[in-house]
A and B are shown apart, each in its own frame.
Chain A
Amino acid sequence: MKAFIRKQGFLIDFTLSSLMRRKGKNIGLLIVYGLIVFLLASVMLFSHALRKEAGLVLQGAPEIVLQRMVAGRHALIPADYLDAIESIRGVAGTEGRLWGYFYDPAVGANYTVMVTPDYELSGNEVVIGAGISRIRGVAEGDFFSLRSDKGKTYVFKVKSLLDSESELVSTDLVLISEKAFRVLTGIPEGRLTDIILKVRNPREVQKVAEKLVARLPDTRPILREEILRTYDSIFAWRQGIVFVLLLGALLAFVIFAWDKASGLSAEEKREIGILKAVGWETGDVLRMKFWEGAIISFSAFTLGYLAAYLHVFYSSAVLFEPVLKGWSVLYPQFDLVPFVDGLQLATLFFFTVFPYTVATIIPIWQASITDPDAIMR
């Protein structure tokens, strides 16, 4: 065992010095290889972090959202539905919500306007999200106007800003009092936008949803689990699409690696010939070449992955943002939580090291079986 390790140690030592002798060629390979790892790893880290983020955000969401449907379209729900729901066993709490979207022609963005019992807002006060504050240039204490459905403009005082920690969900949010909301939108008393339900036991959510549909046939329950599942699939799918697009680049890389490995320079050939002449066996040359590949792969993988990590978590993935995140006028700014796992690493391995290795096996073998006399003659 000791002899084996010593032998590998000497082989690595030899390989390193041999690599250093051909700096230009190997640095070129390293850059291309590292770039491929960087691209794939960036996509992977970024979409993974987004999935994670979506999961964290929805953690606090209600288990069920109940909407009323009229002719297949979302409609206002009567407040007396609340009484019918509360008697369902397993429902821990219900709340009617009033919210809607407001298009602001001045900046070309949609706001989400929502009534909240928190903040104790008076009729002419609002609380706004960080995105709106940025785009409209209003701060705490400033005034902020919204147009009602009758075309009349109402001015509100900004009571405070929502903290930026929750920006992913609150960036376009305007919190407002119920009275002001009803005046702005014209939604009559006794009507709500939708109803949220809290269900304490996650195994009962499905049953509660079934009962809701049976009792109130004109409603549609939306489960939190379903939203989570959809997010999970969508981000995984977007990531897959980008990967397939990058497969072209990967193929180019494989051809490049194959070419590099098979186009041995005269000097390299002479080197192998001399090694064999001084007593190296074919297996030894193969082992040396294996270490060469391992060293290059390891360096490229580490460099590429580190660069991708910096790119995603310290520069917010400037290169892939539009594809993976989607876009809107009022897009939240948020920092992603770094997250690395074995699945990512194994997948990345198969997308980079595996093709590289496969592409170089045959050229390496061809190099290793050359006869010393054929080269040195």
Chain B
Amino acid sequence: MLFNPPVIALIMVSVVVTLMLLAAAGLAVQILMYWDIGSGSERQLILERRTYLVSTLLTWVFASELISLMLFIYNAESMSGQFVGAMCATGVLNVNAWGWPALFLKLIIFFSGAVWLAINHLDNQGFDFPLVKVKYLLLLIILPLVMVEAFVQLQYFLGLKPNLITSCCGSLFSSEAEGVVGNVSSLLPSTALLLFYGAGLLMMLSGTWFLWRKSGGWVFSSLSVGAFIASLAGMISYVALYVYEHPHHHCPFCVLKPGHDYAGYALYLPLFAATALALATGAVSRWKHVPSLSAVVESNAPRLAWLSMMLYALFFSVATFFVLRSSLVMAPFW
């Protein structure tokens, strides 16, 4: 194992977060079993007080998961100097089989955390806590994810041996590569272009529909997941080429490097925030029929959708800006 402070920090955080969630899950089980808002018993009072603790714990858990996601990527980027063959985060994630799963798990936890926080926020505004069972059930679903993530990440770091030879992004993200990544990289730029802007447009239309007719929140959410995946694919097969000004360089991590003006941050931060907000929109708008929540949903859900669409718009404008600014000219060859 490599004894880096960021690695120690990441392991420490995953362990502490798992413990916090385990504690919260214990309370969640009690709440699921005995919660009865109509009762005035002592047990109910204790449970109501404990919900505050769980909310606080989980807010911190998901905040730390967000920072640890960023630290994970940043750390992979900075360790690329220590492995033969690695030139950016791709190579470091490739060092063993656990790297990519750890990253994907972190992403999934980030998005589920956003949904949980949105539901929690909504629930706290209803006087009778109508979603209490829903959110604690959701918490029990997230717990195994976090535990698996802690395990996978630990395996990944334990398997980081400096004498391993890894492959750089040039070989993984190339049209000759096999599997999904190879397919994405070898997408024709014209197809990628259509997918990239098409999915974005569909999502924007559904968002507008939602704002206008106050219905179809879940459609907006699902389309935004589609737009998220299409955007990542578009980043690899299309936008990346223009950022690097190189027709064969597809890496989604090298954009984070200072040599490319940290372009990746301007792209990924709005994209991730927008997707999280869109998922939250779907999760919140679903509860319009609950009497104590309908007023809150009425005012909150459109706000979330609006913010999400603004951030998507920002993402697409930044991406378009990078394509237009670039001195790479590909259009005549498609």
**Which of A's residues lie within 8 Å of B, judged by CB?**
44, 225, 228-229, 232-233, 236-237, 239-241, 243-244, 282-283, 286, 342-343, 346-347, 349-351, 354-355, 357-358, 361-362, 364-365, 368-369
Contacts and interface: CB of A to CB of B under 8 A. Distances in A.
A66 B69 CA distance: 43
B81 A229 contact: yes
B62 to A, nearest CB: 13
A236 B84 CA distance: 16
B52 interface: yes
B190 interface: no
Interface residues of B, number: 34
Contact of A365 (B6, B53, B68): B53
B8 A244 contact: yes
B52 A343 contact: no
B188 interface: no
B5 A240 contact: yes
The 8 lowest CB-CB distance pairs between A and B, nearest first, are A240-B3, A350-B9, A365-B53, A369-B49, A346-B71, A347-B6, A236-B4, A232-B81
A228 B78 CA distance: 14
Interface in B230-282: none
Given A239-B5, A243-B5, A343-B6, A358 B60 contact: yes
A355 B60 CA distance: 11
B74 interface: yes
B5 A354 contact: no
A contact patch SS: helix
Given A349-B67, A351-B9, A369 B52 contact: yes
B4 A240 contact: yes
Contacts of B5: 44, 236, 239-240, 243, 347, 351
Contacts of B64: 350, 354
A276 to B, nearest CB: 12
Contacts of A283: 52, 124
A42 to B, nearest CB: 12
B12 interface: yes
Given A228-B81, A283-B124, A349-B67, 12 more contacts: A233-B2, A240-B7, A240-B8, A243-B8, A283-B52, A346-B74, A350-B9, A354-B13, A358-B20, A361-B57, A365-B53, A369-B52
Nearest to A55: B81
Contacts of A243: 5, 8
Nearest to B4: A236
11 contacts: A225-B84, A232-B81, A233-B162, A237-B2, A237-B4, A282-B52, A286-B56, A347-B5, A350-B9, A350-B68, A361-B60
A369 B56 CA distance: 13
A354 B81 CA distance: 28
B212 to A, nearest CB: 22
A243 B20 CA distance: 23
Nearest to B23: A362
B134 interface: no
Given A244-B8, A283-B52, A358-B16, A236 B2 contact: yes
Contacts of A232: 81-82
Contacts of B12: 350-351
Interface in B1-30: 2-10, 12-13, 16, 20
Contacts of A369: 49, 52
A364 B124 CA distance: 19
Given A233-B162, A342-B74, A357 B60 contact: yes
B3 A236 contact: yes
Which of B5, B53, B64, B71 has its CB near the most chain A CB atoms (within 10 A)? B5
A166 to B, nearest CB: 23
Interface in B37-84: 49, 52-53, 56-57, 60, 64, 67-68, 70-71, 74-75, 78-79, 81-84
A93 to B, nearest CB: 25
Contacts of A241: 3
Contacts of A350: 9-10, 12-13, 64, 67-68, 71
A241 B2 CA distance: 11
